[in-house]
Chains A and B, each alone.
Chain A
Amino acid sequence: MNHAAPLAAGLALVALPLVLPDFWMFIGVEVLAFALYAVSFNLLLGYGGMLSFGHAAFFGAGGYAAALVAAQRSLPLPLMLVLVPAAAMLTAGAAAVLIGLFSVRRAGIYFAMLTFAFQMLLYTIALKATSLTGGDDGLTGLKLPGAIGRPVGYYYFALALTAAGLYVLHRLVHSPFGATLRALRANALRVQYLGVDVRAHRLAAFVASGAFSGLAGALFALSSGNVFPGWLNWTASATPVVMAVLGGTATFFGPALGAAVYVVLEVVISGHTEYWPLTMGVVITILVLLAPGGLTGLWKTGFGRARASRAVPLSTGEAR
């Protein structure tokens, strides 16, 4: 693994507040949160070969958990800074345990549909549990107190947590557990014959992915200042899929790149037209039909052709 590029990107991210105005701090946090979200999601798709179409449930659950903690104004700040990420990860992780127990029994498109179904259950609960979630109106006016709640302070808070999250996920991917996960994607049956508990591994990956998606949701909720039930709706579950595929599912940082491109595209395009969904639809169609390897795939094939070497094979539809 080449460490130069992530290190350079990290240094650039630390220096960002020195050169950009406050408005871009909000965009910066959005990029960080969705990068963490997309990489967590890709732990399942890119490494485990599991397509979740219900990840918005975890992102949203983390957002709500963070919002409820942040509303406790009497908490001392240091405690709150610990409790916000902890509550988000625990809530999303617990949801992932419950959903995962039933979902990881199936593979392929059926796994996608199970996650989709349970997410809709959580969505309707978020919509109807008005006393806890504010119902349709969501929870608004969310902010951390003091300097950490200001754009630059919060940006560094989000940067630290995103970096920590990505570090843990990176370690996970390159551990024996990550190797088993990749083996599962390639040939689950054979891994099972080797005596590995396939379900337990899939469940563990699902819970880790869900917990970090919850952390991402928390980071975004306290930056945007609100959280709505729509965050858990099925249309929101396409976002991490789009980001991961846009960046390329075959690399660890590809989805993070996809998230950054997606967020910046959205800011730029919605500044010019209210038909952002239409534009995104066209982008996705082109992506799926012409560049299924995503941005990193394009770069690698271009690079590979020049050096007459083979591109990294992308995940196929087999053994799902």
Chain B
Amino acid sequence: MHNPVVVARQTLAGISNGMLLFLISAGLSLIFGVLRILNFAHGALFMLGALIAVSLAAVLPAAAGSFVVVLAGAAAGAALLGTVIETGLLRRIYRAPHEMQLLLTFALVLMLGDAAKLIWGRDEQSVAMPALLTGSAHALGVSFPLYRLFLIAAGAAVAVGLWLVLHRSRWGIFIRAATMDRDMLSALGVNTRTLFTSVFALGAALAGLGGALAAPIVAVGPGLHVQVLIDAFAVVVIGGLGSVSGAFLASLLVGLVNAFGVLAFPGLAVVLTFLCMAIVLIVRPRGLLGTVE
């Protein structure tokens, strides 16, 4: 614990895991903020991204450019499915009681989980890392896997891109306005129907991208989506529902708590995540940066 090499390594590991958490929780948070739907199927969209990555990586040649195609394909595939889900199902229940909304996204979890088993089988699969990103970087006596550094860079790039979209584009301004008062936004003449669809597709794309980025370092198999959703849920609750910056902060926090929790209390790191969540819920129920309520 007091060894600076260990501290540096765990910090980097925590941040890189945090970046993956951010990709999935940013979408979950945005979707709740705008659509007011808690999307249990978000973990399934993440898993779908990973599985698309598995299939694409199997058919594409092992070149550096292929990995970019794999990432784009996973994000696009998840966005497409997200669009179908929003227009085909979710749109019908925005005014239904909460239990109906929860049940519908839970039904999606069941259907997508089994559909994934039907299409990709029950075995755990993995994606080979692009050759360019295998190996380790060395600095100041610490060696660190290149792919993890790439994850940090990719996560940071998405975070900056998302911030620019939300704060500098017309679409982003509408999205932020919708998290504050969607009825007012609608009254001002904004087409909230297409806005909802696009937000769900954006969230799905982020989850799919996260899944594809995680595919080389996790075992992609049945049940992945159940675990991923809980982590993302914890992040969203800690960060504050509807807040992308909150999701970013909480992702880093949870990533780091897990990375150091493993050292301090081996085997109990998962408990720490939920303990963090419980404390935040009790002390500051709307989350670190939450505004929605």
A contact set with B: CB distance below 8 Å = 45, 51, 53, 102, 105-106, 108-110, 112-114, 116-118, 120-121, 124-125, 127-128, 233-235, 238, 241-242, 244-245, 249, 275, 277-278, 280-282, 284-285, 287-289, 292, 315-317, 320
The 7 closest A-B CB pairs, nearest first, are A281-B110, A278-B114, A281-B111, A284-B107, A277-B110, A121-B274, A317-B97
A289, B93: Cβ atoms under 8 Å? yes
The interface residues of chain B lying within 8 Å CB-to-CB of A242 are 103, 106
> CA separation between A289 and B293, bound complex, in Å?
27
> CA separation between A120 and B281, bound complex, in Å?
13
Starting from the known contacts A109-B36, A278-B110, 4 additional A-B residue pairs (CB-CB under 8 Å) come to: A51-B97, A121-B278, A281-B114, A288-B107
CB distance from A300 to the nearest CB of B (A): 17
B234, A292: Cβ atoms under 8 Å? no
Closest B residue by C-beta to A246: B103
Closest A residue by C-beta to B285: A106
Q: Does B284 contact A (CB under 8 A)?
A: no
B226, A233: Cβ atoms under 8 Å? yes
> CA separation between A128 and B278, bound complex, in Å?
17
B108, A113: Cβ atoms under 8 Å? no
The interface residues of chain B lying within 8 Å CB-to-CB of A292 are 96-97, 100
A124, B108: Cβ atoms under 8 Å? no
Tell which of B158-166, B178-186, B203-211, B264-272 binds the partner. B264-272
> CA separation between A55 and B244, bound complex, in Å?
29
Q: Does B137 contact A (CB under 8 A)?
A: no
The interface residues of chain A lying within 8 Å CB-to-CB of B95 are 317
The interface residues of chain B lying within 8 Å CB-to-CB of A109 are 36, 38, 98
By the criterion of a CB under 8 Å from any partner CB, how many residues of chain B are at the interface? 44
Bits for B199-219, please: 1 = Cβ < 8 Å to A, else 0: 000000000000000000000
The interface residues of chain A lying within 8 Å CB-to-CB of B102 are 51, 53, 112, 238, 241
Closest A residue by C-beta to B268: A128
**Contact residues of A: prevailing secondary structure:** helix
The interface residues of chain A lying within 8 Å CB-to-CB of B96 are 288, 292, 317
The interface residues of chain B lying within 8 Å CB-to-CB of A244 are 99
A316, B237: Cβ atoms under 8 Å? no
* Contact pick for A288, options B103, B115, B275, B293, CB 8 Å: B103
CB distance from B96 to the nearest CB of A (A): 7
The interface residues of chain A lying within 8 Å CB-to-CB of B270 are 124, 127-128
Name the interface residues of B244-293: CB closer than 8 Å to any CB of A. Answer: 267-268, 270-271, 273-275, 277-278, 281-282, 285, 293
> CA separation between A87 and B249, bound complex, in Å?
42
A102, B282: Cβ atoms under 8 Å? yes
> CA separation between A320 and B273, bound complex, in Å?
29
Bits for B86-122, please: 1 = Cβ < 8 Å to A, else 0: 0001001101111110111011111101110110000
CB distance from B107 to the nearest CB of A (A): 4
> CA separation between A159 and B193, bound complex, in Å?
51
Closest A residue by C-beta to B286: A110
Q: List 15 A-B contacts (CB under 8 A).
A: A109-B36, A110-B285, A112-B38, A114-B285, A117-B237, A121-B271, A128-B271, A235-B109, A249-B99, A281-B108, A285-B104, A288-B104, A289-B104, A292-B96, A317-B97
The interface residues of chain A lying within 8 Å CB-to-CB of B118 are 275, 278
Closest A residue by C-beta to B115: A278
Which of B110, B237, B267, B293 is the most central at the interface, judged by chain A CB atoms within 10 Å of its CB? B110
A241, B99: Cβ atoms under 8 Å? yes
The interface residues of chain B lying within 8 Å CB-to-CB of A124 are 270-271, 273-274
Q: Does B67 contact A (CB under 8 A)?
A: no
CB distance from A259 to the nearest CB of B (A): 15
B110, A284: Cβ atoms under 8 Å? yes
The interface residues of chain A lying within 8 Å CB-to-CB of B285 are 105-106, 110, 114
The interface residues of chain B lying within 8 Å CB-to-CB of A105 are 285
CB distance from A42 to the nearest CB of B (A): 10
The interface residues of chain A lying within 8 Å CB-to-CB of B46 are none
Query: With A117-B277, A120-B274, A275-B118 in contact, do A288 and B93 touch (Cβ < 8 Å)?
Result: yes
